[in-house]
A and B are shown apart, each in its own frame.
Chain A
Amino acid sequence: MRALRFLLRKEFLQIFRDPALVRMLFMIPVVQLLVLSNAATFEVKRARMYVVDHDASTMSRGVVDRLAASGRFVRGGGSGSVALGDDALMRRDVEMVLTIPPGFERDIVRYRHTAVQLLLNAEDGAAAAVTQAYAREILARYATELGTELFPATALAGARAERPPVRGQPAVQVRTRGWYNAELDYRHYMVPGILVQLLTIVGTLLTAMNIVREKEAGTLDQLNVTPVTRSVFIAAKLIPLWIISMVVLSIGLVVAKVAFGVPMIGSLFLVFGGAALYLVAALGIGLWVSAVTETQQQAMFVNFSILMVYLLMSGLFTPVSSMPEWAQWVARFNPMMHFISLMRAVMLKGAGFADVARQLAVLATAGAVVLTIAVRQYHKRSA
């Protein structure tokens, strides 16, 4: 144990003697958090639409006006020719082509039913899906509006106007509520996840480079001929970065609160408890990579491959529940997924110890397993 004290002192000295490293350690997560949290959104602010209005009626103009008035769409050209619209789409001048067929207004009045065509450039699939959803919603609202205007007696979902009950004519009121994020601020959801991502990247990169760096420099041989035990050695490598990561997490949480107003409904203690366990697992993986590789280049590459799987299968950007069954199983072994869900549950929903007990248990197990592997894979003597 006495040896550990001296090894820790050495690790800290080495880290803080590298000013570039210290700057990166503390500055970069903050800057990245500020930038990336703003970048991670599917919301499309202004989609340009090309209008081909074959009807040129009050109602067809109403459609275009409603779309533009929503602030989601802006008119990016228009003519009577669908072909010109297609061209604009191909050239990426517009994101959507709206075609209103002749007889649009007539059909609404006569049959209460009509159709419009939306042509989207799905090259950018996520944006296309979101744009389409906006358009659908605006069209549905306009239809409801036209319905109450033209046929006041009709009962509609979500209609506000109270009317005397009519027997045999069902009336349904649906109220919708979104819990935990009333303003629907996507950043509140992303910031905790991105914070975890940054912690993981910085932490595992440094640990992955650490042992292998000593291998390359030859200093590891000198340590290996001493009686330092393997677990003391691994502990000395793990603890400094664990402490630094906890500090980075604290700074990140302050930024989340101050810059993004992310709430902290649950207990801060629980967040740190989860982080303490998670970091053991995450940094342990870095150490394991470092123990089994020979050069820093290799270490970086292996670590990067692991990080990719880690990140994309963590539910950070895409929901885990949408993955196929086997991929969900893989994700269940990903400590990052559990920690992100813990952070989100505690911070945004106020989950308590009992609610996240399962995640905590998984993280603790992962930490123990990873550390054991790292210690076992680190050999003082090569075969």
Chain B
Amino acid sequence: MRAPERIQALAAFVIKEMRHILRDRQTLTILLLLPLAQVVLFGFAIRTDVNDIRLAIVDAAPDDATLALRARFTGNGRFRIVATAATVDVLEPLFRRGEADVALVIAPGLARALADGTPARLQLITDASNPNTGTTMQTYAGAVIRTWQAALPGARQGVTIEPQVRMLFNPTLESVNLFVPGLIALVLTLVTAQMTAISLSREKERGTLEILLVSPLRPWQIILGKVAPYLLLAFANVVTALVAAWVVFRVPFRGSLLLLLAASTLYALVGLALGVLIAARTESQRTAMMGSMIGTMLPSTLLSGMIFPIASLPWPLQLVSNIVPARWFIVIVRGIMLKGAGVVHLWQELLVLTVMFTVLLAVAIRSFRARLA
């Protein structure tokens, strides 16, 4: 077959694959709507800050001073008082049932102790089963006590070093700004790696792949035909996710849209190559799916910096995170969207993805051939 004919054959094949996907309305609808729904849902729902702290107060002998202290907590928007009791016995069940996060225990005779200058004893108990929120809540409660204390008559001030903190690129630490890049990565992984892995292994299972292989199309052309529609879908997904992020949440967009789309395409290609590799190495749709789930989804959420900072990982996992494509892609997307970074700043990440794509593709095609030979 001469080159033009071959191109024609390839085009026919790609069109056939597109029809296949377009005909399956249900899947297509989900594929197009899912990213949109996710950005909206999680943009609103996912908050890493702590803003509703349930407080239990143990005040054995209420007096003016304890009431003033309690008022400080009531007046603070972060705290919600769920119980007030005279003895500490109530705390244990409250904590066990998860109905209180922090308890403030005030020793009897607070007003007198303050007046006498004898130590007034307060105790802050936090549910530290979650150490993150536990520590944060403790800090907030401590701060309330300090303000109360500073306002006491006769209080003398100590030394303060005030940290003036500026958060660059995301001054309010808006969670949605941080999640959108991660979500884009996740959706792309799903549409590219997983869908390709499954659709190819489906053809393997059904034996239809063999029919394609005896056609004059070359193996790489068959693979290209199978992945091209998913590449288009991935592209549509990135655009919808971005539009949703911008329209609904006003997520800033400081860099070049063109660069972002180019990087997304590159990332999608890495995902597709990975999907082909998984399909080549597995026998059934079921194992392909399990494999792609474990091989792509979990690392993409947990070892990519999407939720947990890379810097927090123990060093062996930091090393592992280097081979997770999403890790590099998220840096690129965040860089472009939040910092307005350009190729000058991101060339290393882009290079890493390009290398990954080349290597994965080579391995995938080789193992596909080995399987079929």
By a beta-carbon cutoff of 8 Å, the part of chain A in contact with chain B is 18, 20-21, 24, 28, 32, 35-36, 38-47, 63, 89-92, 95, 108, 112-130, 132-133, 135-137, 139-140, 142-144, 146-147, 150-151, 153-157, 162, 165-182, 184-186, 188-189, 201-202, 205-206, 209, 213, 293-298, 300-302, 304-305, 308-309, 312-313, 317-319, 321-324, 326-327, 330, 341, 344-345, 348-352, 355-356
Contact = CB atoms under 8 A, between A and B. Distances in A.
Contacts of B341: 90
A213 B285 contact: yes
B93 interface: yes
B190 interface: yes
Contacts of B7: none
Contacts of A144: 158-159
A132 B30 CA distance: 40
B169 interface: yes
A114 B166 CA distance: 17
A306 to B, nearest CB: 11
A349 B125 CA distance: 14
Contacts of B159: 108, 112-113, 143-144, 146-147, 150-151
Contact of B123 (A38, A39, A63, A177): A177
Q: Which of B118, B283, B331 has the most CB of A within 10 A?
A: B118
Given A45-B312, A120-B166, A129-B173, A171 B117 contact: yes
19 contacts: A24-B287, A28-B290, A38-B314, A42-B132, A114-B162, A116-B163, A118-B164, A120-B165, A122-B168, A122-B338, A124-B305, A126-B178, A139-B163, A140-B161, A170-B153, A171-B118, A175-B121, A205-B293, A319-B130
Contacts of B136: 133
B50 interface: yes
A336 B294 CA distance: 20
Given A112-B160, A180-B129, A20 B30 contact: no
A307 to B, nearest CB: 9
Contact of A46 (B48, B157, B293, B311): B311
B363 interface: no
Interface stretch (B95-103, B238-246, B350-358): B95-103
B6 interface: no
B168 A119 contact: yes
B170 A175 contact: no
B131 A297 contact: no
B317 interface: yes
Contacts of A44: 309, 311-312
A179 B52 contact: no
A183 B314 CA distance: 18
Q: 6 smallest A-B Cβ distances: which pairs?
A: A178-B128, A127-B309, A122-B167, A327-B45, A147-B158, A184-B131
Interface residues of B, number: 120
A143 B160 contact: yes
A129 B149 contact: no
A123 B313 CA distance: 17
B131 A185 contact: yes
Contact of A167 (B101, B117, B139, B149): B117
B51 interface: yes
A72 B47 CA distance: 25
Given A129-B173, A296-B286, A349-B96, A116 B164 contact: yes
B121 A173 contact: yes
Nearest to B45: A327
Nearest to B173: A125
B96 A350 contact: yes
A178 B38 CA distance: 36
Contacts of A180: 95, 127-129
Interface string B306-337: 01111111100100100000000001001100
A173 B114 CA distance: 11
Contacts of A40: 302, 307-308
Contacts of A130: 309, 312
B175 A125 contact: yes
Contact of B96 (A133, A175, A330, A351): A351
Q: Which of B38, B159, B163, B285 has most chain A Cβ within 10 Å?
A: B159
Contacts of B146: 157
B156 interface: yes
A178 B287 contact: no
A296 B198 contact: yes
A296 B114 CA distance: 70
Nearest to A91: B345
A348 to B, nearest CB: 4
B20 to A, nearest CB: 11
A128 B167 contact: yes
B195 A297 contact: yes
B128 A181 contact: yes
